[in-house]
Amino acid sequence: MSHVRYFYVWIALLVLTAITVTTAGLNVGRVGIIVVLVIAATKSTMVLLWFMHLRSEKRLLLKLLVPIAIATLAIFIGLTYTDILTR
Amino acid sequence: MELEARDQKVFSRVGMWLFLLSEILIFGGLFLVYAMYRAKHPADFHAASMELSRFDGTLNTTILLTSSLTAVLAIFSLQELNKPRRAALYLAATIGFGFAFLVVKAFEWGAKFQHGLYPRAAELGTRPHGEILYFGLYFTMTGLHALHVIIGMVVLSVMLAWVLGKKVTQQRSAVLENAGLYWHLVDIIWIFLFPLFYLIS
Amino acid sequence: MASHAESAGHHTAFPWFTDHGRRPGLRGFLTSTNHKRIGMLYMAAVLSFFTIAVILGVLMRIQMLSPDSTFLTGQAYNAMFTVHGIIMIFLVVIPGIPTIFGNFFLPILIGGEDMSFPRLNLFSWYLYMTGAFVVLASLVLGTGPVDTGWTFYVPYSLKSTVNVPLAVFGVFLLGMSSILTGINIVTTTHQMRAPGMSFFRMPLSVWGLYSTAWVQVLATPVIGITLVLIMLERLFGIGVFDASKGGDPILYQHLFWIYSHPAVYIMILPAMGIISDLFPVFSRKNIFGYKTIAFSSLAIASVGSLVWGHHMYVSGQSDTASIVFSFLTFLVAVPSAIKVFNWVATMYKGSVKVDPPFLYALGFIALFAIGGLTGLVLGALSTDVHTHDTYFVVGHFHYIIFGGMGFGLFAALHYWFPKMFGKTYDFKFATVSFIVLFVEFNLFYMTMLILGWAGMPRRYYSYLPKYTDLQVIATVGSWIMVGGLGMMFGNLVHAFFRGKKAEANPWGGATLEWQISSPPSFENFEKVPVITHGPYVFAKEAKAGEKGK
């Protein structure tokens, strides 16, 4: 296993950062929040898979943990929205 | 039958990930509050975010991403290459980047204090509700994040000492791995904080 | 309780108290990382705090004997119900079964020698005790005890001049302790099972603890951050809950109940797990629907995290949200009902022996059923408008929490007492205590349901004269119930000091804890057990003490 892959991931992260900063400056309206969140999610996934070694993780439990956390948060936020957005 | 016979390293990784889960949910609660108030005051949030420096935010993002790289290289140097001194150097770099992050953040906060854009400040009180909430959340979330950066730096410093003192070695590196996981989580949280506070279009 | 027996020279009787003489005395207890000793530390703490909270409850009931009673001032009454709630919820009922019986028995039930993180376990206890003392200190120090209700609703919790920050900080520490316990339980369940102990051969009590632990890890952080926000709001005025700055007080309620509703499942799931272990043993028959019960535990934990808005139907929440939450609330009743059906079905054509543990298990079924059904009244939007913030709610949650989790805890105590202490207790006295408790429980709390339906609001220190008779009945019920508690605990304490020696398997159970000595040795098992069948497989003969393999 070589350490070069870590540099590739780092470059990718910096590129994605540049993209998200530029997009924000373009004033794309409501789509903007979705784009930045998708890019942030992509960056985080790369950190999780390569820097935090989830890609080579064998235990199913550990690979499921972050999806479980995201799902939990999504439910909490989603159900709270049913109140906040309909008042 | 002894605990040592079982894989202590595996336990500690499982336990660490579960702990990270709880950290995600702590910040998650704050993201929930943010989501609700941004939905109610989209224009105010945009206006308030114009007060922040996108340059500083981008700089800090770059700093933390690079610190994540040096963190994982530190672990790689010890676990795969068995070069504790190189690992120590990478750890020192990571801590240094953490310090740089905090310096930039301190300047940012200082600028806000100067412009009266902090909770209970007179100037902020004249702004619309959405902006007051934005800054309340800004200080809370970046403040809690900075606290975690400080904790991470302390933990990494202890790792640095232990690597140099041979308490953490190629064979016994679980605690270093876990420290790395913690630092990466701190990075991931910032990856989300950055666009949510600095890049509102 | 333990230290007296220990220093009286009971070394040989309780080998795990002293770790083969290496950690003697109270100091040894306070520094040991052995899961059984930590379980005992929690037991001493939890039961002590329970006693304090019961006393506060009794004092509240005395105030309610008459509408013009001046026994307590309004401020004092507010403080009493607040602290009664904080202690009961955060110090007794949430930690109770996982920290006492989870710590003591989880490793044994899965064939392990300790929890995954013994030192973290001891640290959790110290964190718990620190949080407890901070909460109790807030009673007497500074500006006086908290009067906001255990729910700390804004805006009052932001403005009240009493020790809100101190109490909130104490609860925060207790939450941290709960998260660490949850991490320990999940990791232990995944990592420490003996060879052959697949997930579907684990006792259902372990499934109960395991599902609970997930809720502890995922939900507790939310109340952690909510309490931090209260403190930040008070200290710095950040505005998130302050309406004058655009903050939304109902958002506080969302955040609070996002944890505090799943918290009630933290309370009940371990108790249900224990009941699931008891029914097979005392019916001498395999449990009906093992996998259904196991998956129901997970279902209750997950669906139960979706229903929190049912606490807020009349708070100003939108109608849309209320409808959504009401629907989800009805869903969560289903897995609980399935469990009740399966437990009862286990008895069918079984050889039932109603020993004290099973008495409490049957009591659990009855009281939990009543509590659950009243929950449906509260979960339906229209009837909730009538019953919200009345004694109906108070009756409901005491049936569920005290009748459910409480009786589950008493069942566990009577079931595992011989195993933990190696002594037997008086069955007749235990039976009489149960009858007293069960009858008076209903006298006390059924009256509250009636009072609430008739319109008596909760958290009031006075009331309209028409409620007087029922209030007096409830108060008298509370006295007799305290008597019943005294009888029950007295019986067990007496047995601790003077009981006859217990055998290894007095109930004929087939789970792993009954295959080792009473009390267990320090390492639990002489050699690693190898599991070849499920946890509820019994031999044809019903002789007590017969190994169930």
Q: Which residue has the tokens 């820097």?
A: A51
pTM, to two decimals: 0.94
Contact B48, C228 (CB under 8 A): no
Q: What is the pLDDT of residue C546?
A: 42
CB count in 10 Å sphere of residue B122: 7
Judge: domain B3-198, CATH 1.20.120.80.
yes
Q: What is the pLDDT of residue C458?
A: 96
Q: Is the pLDDT reported for residue C278 higher than 50?
A: yes
Do B201 and A52 count as a contact with CB atoms less than 8 A apart?
no
Q: Alpha-carbon distance C171 to C131, whole Å?
A: 6
Block means of pLDDT (10 residues each) for chain A, length 87 residues?
88 96 80 89 96 91 93 96 94
Model confidence band, residue C541 (pLDDT cutoffs 50, 70, 90): very low
Structural element, H or E, at residue B74:
helix B54-79
Q: Alpha-carbon distance C501 to B55, whole Å?
A: 75
Contact C424, C356 (CB under 8 A): no
Do C222 and A76 count as a contact with CB atoms less than 8 A apart?
yes
DSSP string, C339-395: HHHHHHHHHTTS-----HHHHHHHHHHHHHHHHHHHHHHHHSHHHHHHHTTBHHHHH
Q: Alpha-carbon distance C247 to B16, whole Å?
A: 35
Q: What angle do CA B183, B187, B193 make, to 5 degrees?
A: 145
Average pLDDT, chain C: 92
Residue of B3, B22, B38, B178 to mutate for C, most C C-beta atoms under 10 A? B22
Q: Where are the domains of chain B?
A: 3-198
Do A83 and C309 count as a contact with CB atoms less than 8 A apart?
yes
Q: Is the pLDDT reported for residue C7 higher than 80?
A: no
B135 min Cα distance to partner chain A (Å): 19
CB count in 10 Å sphere of residue A58: 7
Model confidence band, residue C1 (pLDDT cutoffs 50, 70, 90): very low
Model confidence band, residue B8 (pLDDT cutoffs 50, 70, 90): confident
Do C240 and B133 count as a contact with CB atoms less than 8 A apart?
yes
pLDDT in tens, C319-364: 999 999 999 999 999 999 999 999 999 999 999 999 999 999 999 9
DSSP string, C388-444: TTBHHHHHHHIIIIIIIIIHHHHHHHHHHHHHHHSB---HHHHHHHHHHHHHHHHHH
CB count in 10 Å sphere of residue C137: 14
- Largest alpha-carbon pair distance within chain B? 68
Q: Residue range C477-485: average pLDDT?
A: 95
pLDDT in tens, B9-48: 888 999 999 999 999 999 999 999 999 999 999 999 999 9
Contacting A with CB below 8 Å, chain B residues are 10, 13-14, 17-18, 20-21, 24-25, 28, 31-32, 35-36, 39-40, 54, 58, 61-62, 65-66, 68-69, 71-73, 76, 80, 180-181, 184, 187-188, 191-192, 194-196, 198-201
Nearest CA in chain C to B119: C238
pLDDT in tens, C19-48: 666 666 777 888 889 999 999 999 999 999
Which is nearest to B78 in space by CA: B191, B197, B177? B177
B113 min Cα distance to partner chain A (Å): 25
Q: What is the pLDDT of residue C4?
A: 42
List C457's β-bridge partners, or say none. C390
Residue of A81, A83, A85, A87 to mutate for C, most C C-beta atoms under 10 A? A83
Q: Alpha-carbon distance C297 to A3, whole Å?
A: 44
Contacts of A83 in chain C (CB under 8 A): 250, 254, 309, 317-318, 320-321
pLDDT in tens, C507-522: 999 999 999 988 888 8
Which is nearest to C127 in space by CA: C71, C183, C199? C183
Q: Alpha-carbon distance C128 to C177, whole Å?
A: 6
pLDDT in tens, C119-158: 999 999 999 999 999 999 998 887 889 999 999 999 999 9
Contacts of A69 in chain C (CB under 8 A): 218
Q: Alpha-carbon distance A48 to A62, whole Å?
A: 11
* AA identity, residue C353: K
Pairs of CB atoms within 8 A across A/B: 114
